Structure 1
Amino acid sequence: MAKKEGTGALVERGRLLAADLSRLVAAPAGRSTQASHAPFDGTLVGEVPACTTGDVDAAVDLARVAQQRWAGLPVAERRAVIRRFRELLLDREQDILDLVQAESGKARLSAFEEFADVVLTANYYERNAERYLGPRRRKGAAPVLTRTTEYRVPKGVVGVISPWNYPLTLAVSDALPALLAGNGIVLKPDSETPFTALLMLKLLREAGLPADLFQIVTGPGTAIGPALIARVDFLMFTGSSQTGKTVARQCGERLIGFSAELGGKNPMLVLADADVAKAARGAVHACFSNSGQLCVSIERIYVHADVHDSFLAAFTSEVKAIRMGPGPDWDFGMGSLISAAQVERVDRHVQDAVAKGAQILTGGRRRPDLGPLFYEPTVLAGVTPDMLLAREETFGPVVAVYRAADDDEAVALANDSDFGLNGSVWSARHGEEVARRLLTGTVNVNEGYAATWASHDAPIGGMKDSGAGRRHGREGFLKYTEPQTIAVQRLLRVAPAAGTSNRTYARIMKGAVTLMSRFPRSR
């Protein structure tokens, strides 16, 4: 009973936090609404307006006017706003964790990982914004005569379409570098989790962000997503590969920039020299953090034949020990899934595999005794290529374990996928060498996904069907800018001087370019 009361109290706190946030949506009064429910027990968290295409147009117009003023501010003033926002995050930790859990159903630790990531992202970009935006001298056309400088100009208004699985991190972390670069933002959060994004907007405005600069529109993506793409100057999208391809085509028709992190069917390799006990514990977090609803989580594990049996026994034992449950108890290792549709997808993959001969080693069941959307952490063996689980992204607490004859076979099987987002290699001596052979945007050695994700100075993103562009690092900042080159020519024009024939000019230039070509021009 105490656990149920704790869950009810958590959801009620989330409902109270959400109560005054819907007014921040960029829509006039009188719009029809859509509801957000707590996955833990189905309780109503709140309702937000179902925005129209006209609301999207109005939001972009407001952000565009505000952006022109914002871009004119010194970078130091923009940094000060983000610095204050970071401090507000730290002050409001408990409220933020409550609302994230109430909306998404995830475990407390998974909610905290989001919170910590946003704090660190804000800190990283706030400290590096001036360095990234500063003018850079480039080699000119002619030494001494040409002074060439590269400047960085904001795109204008950036559209962000964020998913439900990380409603805090993926709603605001992509917006922060765009804001620091001088852009305005129009964000469309997922319909399952709008209130976490709205709380972030509230804190940003408390930190001093101009009211119109960052707009949020809510509603079905199919209804307002295309309208957003039709008006913004750049789009950041996180979601499925299928939807990402549609979004990319829409952006391509307008010739606007596009960056996306899409799906993954991420492999983990356990080599013969791995510490089996550590690999088994690491795999638990890599596979089942956020109930497996994580683009970079592990869904395939290839284990060297020499350690396969010992790893499988240790891993299965660790998975069986995972505590599941709803609410704010920090000891729960796994929370709820987000929706009935997600539970159905997970169960369909498991049942299809079993019907075709796979074996469930642990898990494989819904847990209505814990809540309507709970599903056990599940490990399968005997998965074959004809099964849905083998190649499609499950996006849930399910992993298949395979025996690999040697490292070469493990690498070949890992790369045999349309996806290429994240990988993991466990080895005492050969981890980095094998990691270089994986066709994924990030690879973690003796870790599942957190080492690369938390390395905010390094770019992350996908190869193949797993995405385009990168977030984090210099690349994740400069994508929100346009490079502008300004060259100031002194004394002599790059053209024939008065009284000089074209033939004479060409002879002079040939001598000059011949001489210049013999000296290095790189920095």
Structure 2
Amino acid sequence: MTSQTASSPAVRVAQDVAKRMSHRVTAAADAPQRERTTPLTGEVVASLPESSVADVERAYEAARAAQPAWAATPVKERVEFLERLHDLVLEHQSEMLDLIQLDSGKARIQAFEEILDTAGVCRHYAKKAPSYLAERKGAGAMPVLTQARTGYRPKGVVGVVAPWNYPLSMTITDALPALAAGNAVVLRPDEKASLTCLKIVELIDEAGLPEGLLQVVLGDGPTVGGAVLERADYVMYTGSTNVGRQVARDAGERLVGASLELGGKNAMYVAEDADLKRAAEGAQRAVFSSAGQLCISIERLVLHEAIADEFLRLFLARVKAMKLSTEVGWGADMGSLISAQQLERVEEHVADAVSKGATVLAGGKARPDVGPFVYEPTVLDGVVDGMSCRRDETFGPLVSVYRVANDDEAVAFANDSEYGLNASVWTKDVKRGRAIAARIQSGTVNVNEGYASAYASNGAPMGGMKSSGVGRRHGAEGIRKYTDIQNVTVQHVQGFGVPKGMSQKQFAKVMTVGMRLMKRGGVA
């Protein structure tokens, strides 16, 4: 099986990256080596050094030594490396795609989404960071006499702990605005995503980021990842809600800021006036992209009862025709899950639902003939409370179908979850779609798209409500969060003390008249 799947050219790419870039991992010279396997086949593709807690400390020392000079560099100069990185990512996409597939097991077309996302983030912050971080005037206490300015000062060293599911995009796109804002970064990619991480770090070095500003440590989440977050001046964590709660508690105890993108149980509503062919195609991508291992993927299909049967006819035909493959290369619709643990979770959710009365409309079984962790794209009907997949995030190729009579029921169902990360609304009436979206408790809502439109709009914020997290990535919020906001205000001529020769009572009267005049004059 291995010779038919993770092709030797791709494995050679991985081995070459490991050989060239092991030195960029902060680890002792005698650090233990850990084998990296690919979920495509389970085979070992490379070995990389493991960092210790002492190595994390060394990484922070180096980052803190490099950061002050970087913070003093004008932002227009800081973002120049992003311009170059944009081009390098596109130029080296073939190698990047090989590594993303080897690390994650996903289909190449979904790996390509990560190329687009990373290049898009580079382009956006290269163009917009100078304006996002520009000093801003604020309303002064006294017109003309009081001049307030707001500035954005880098936090220092940002700790980024990244997940495995998007080994390029989620590993680096949170670090890039942190660097552009004048911070250094200590980055701990997930162990399953480390080969892709080292390749993008190689390109960042080539793009001209000064030495010391981006430190990489490799190791497990509780030990090495925990050490990264414990020392950070600002915490950026993407992962499970349970771990995110602990990360938030620890950051709060130290009084440092944190941005957390956590779990989701995302709903897609198809209204009775939707373009059903387009909605079926969009649902297929939104549910099964990256084998459902996407925090913003759809796990609940909410169908208006008037179109439910016709939509399902179109949707199920697409699902049953999907091509599954663990080949490195183009052509597959869906690849592999990441691990035996993730496969077991999907199997448990399906078995639990079926044992309690749910019906399998498509899929419903593992496909070891395709790959060790492959599970068929699966659609369930009749899922009710008491079944694990009703409320718990599956994070796999599984979606449940529900029917509603109207928009109010759809909104209520979408909101009936502890999560609020992403949602989708399909209707030909855009005004109606926006109105429905505004009632859904979710950080992003796509109208006539499943997830990509909102996520790929780098000028707009993306993040979660409720148990899906705090903080935002993308847009102004996605870079300003890595700064401390400072108010510097200059007072001219007359201060706030009582002028000489004037009584306190007279001063109060003069100031009262002044306040009234400012209100009449529309002064903020």
- Do they superpose with TM above 0.5? yes
Contact 2:6/2:41 (<8 A) preserved: no
What is the SS of the residue equivalent to 1:506? Answer: helix
Instruction: Give the partner amino acid of 2:350.
Output: V
Cα deviations by residue, 1:66-95 (Å, 9 ceiling, x for unpaired)? 110111112222121111111211221111
Instruction: Give the partner amino acid of 2:446.
Output: N
Q: 1:85 & 1:344 partners in 2: Cα distance?
A: 38
Contact 2:39/2:337 (<8 A) preserved: yes
What is the SS of the residue equivalent to 1:294? Answer: coil
Q: 2:302 & 2:447 partners in 1: Cα distance?
A: 14
Residue matched to 2:481: 479
Residue 168 (structure 1) shift: 0.5
Residue 5 (structure 1) shift: 6.1
Residue matched to 2:507: 505
Query: Per the alignment, do residues 262 and 499 of structure 1 end up closer, same or farther by CA in structure 2, a change over 3 Å counting?
Result: same
Cα deviations by residue, 1:326-356 (Å, 9 ceiling, x for unpaired)? 1233210001111110001111101100111
Q: Please identify, of 339-348 and 503-512, the stretch whose mean Cα deviation from structure 2 is larger.
A: 503-512
Unaligned runs of 5+ residues in structure 2 are none
**1:97 aligned onto 2:109:** no
Residue matched to 2:248: 248
Residue 21 (structure 1) shift: 2.0
Q: 1:294 & 1:3 partners in 2: Cα distance?
A: 28
Q: 2:5 & 2:464 partners in 1: Cα distance?
A: 42
**1:283 aligned onto 2:279:** no
Q: 1:15 & 1:39 partners in 2: Cα distance?
A: 16
Q: 2:500 & 2:388 partners in 1: Cα distance?
A: 74
Residue matched to 1:459: 461
Cα deviations by residue, 1:402-458 (Å, 9 ceiling, x for unpaired)? 111222112111110000000011111132221222111111111100010111111
Q: 1:428 & 1:351 partners in 2: Cα distance?
A: 37
Aligned ranges 1:225-374 → 2 under 5 Å: 225-374=225-374
**1:387 aligned onto 2:375:** no
Residue 197 (structure 1) shift: 1.3
Residue 180 (structure 1) shift: 0.8
Residue matched to 1:140: 140
Contact 2:97/2:108 (<8 A) preserved: yes
Contact 1:11/1:38 (<8 A) preserved: no
Unaligned runs of 5+ residues in structure 1 are none
Q: 1:448 & 1:330 partners in 2: Cα distance?
A: 22
Contact 2:118/2:169 (<8 A) preserved: yes
Aligned ranges 1:13-52 → 2 under 5 Å: 13-52=13-52
Contact 2:5/2:41 (<8 A) preserved: no
Q: 2:104 & 2:8 partners in 1: Cα distance?
A: 15
**How well do the aligned residues superpose, as a CA RMSD in angstroms?**
1.5
Q: 1:356 & 1:11 partners in 2: Cα distance?
A: 43
Instruction: Give the partner amino acid of 1:459.
Output: P
How many matched pairs? Answer: 522
Residue matched to 1:419: 419
Contact 1:270/1:425 (<8 A) preserved: yes
Residue 163 (structure 1) shift: 0.1
Residue matched to 2:129: 129
Q: 2:11 & 2:319 partners in 1: Cα distance?
A: 28
Residue 137 (structure 1) shift: 1.2
Aligned ranges 1:215-230 → 2 under 5 Å: 215-230=215-230
Contact 2:6/2:102 (<8 A) preserved: no
Instruction: Give the partner amino acid of 1:280.
Output: A
Contact 2:2/2:41 (<8 A) preserved: no
Instruction: Give the partner amino acid of 1:212.
Output: G
Contact 2:5/2:327 (<8 A) preserved: no
Residue matched to 1:399: 399
Cα deviations by residue, 1:44-74 (Å, 9 ceiling, x for unpaired)? 1222332222211111111111110111112
Residue 500 (structure 1) shift: 4.0
Contact 2:276/2:311 (<8 A) preserved: yes
Percent of counterpart pairs with the same letter? 48
What is the SS of the residue equivalent to 2:204? Answer: helix
Residue 179 (structure 1) shift: 0.8
Q: 1:32 & 1:47 partners in 2: Cα distance?
A: 10
**1:70 aligned onto 2:61:** no
What is the SS of the residue equivalent to 2:7? Answer: helix
Residue 6 (structure 1) shift: 6.5
Contact 2:5/2:328 (<8 A) preserved: no
Instruction: Give the partner amino acid of 2:481.
Output: K
Instruction: Give the partner amino acid of 1:166.
Output: Y
Q: 2:247 & 2:302 partners in 1: Cα distance?
A: 33
Instruction: Give the partner amino acid of 1:512.
Output: G
Instruction: Give the partner amino acid of 2:421.
Output: L
What is the SS of the residue equivalent to 1:192? Answer: helix
Query: Per the alignment, do residues 316 and 496 of structure 1 end up closer, same or farther by CA in structure 2, a change over 3 Å counting?
Result: same
Instruction: Give the partner amino acid of 2:363.
Output: G
Q: 1:134 & 1:504 partners in 2: Cα distance?
A: 41
TM-score (norm 1): 0.97
Q: Please identify, of 129-138 and 490-499, the stretch whose mean Cα deviation from structure 2 is larger.
A: 490-499
Contact 1:34/1:50 (<8 A) preserved: yes
Instruction: Give the partner amino acid of 2:338.
Output: I
TM-score (norm 2): 0.97
Residue matched to 1:470: 472
Instruction: Give the partner amino acid of 1:52.
Output: S
> Which residue, 430, 434, 437 being the options, matches 1:432?
434
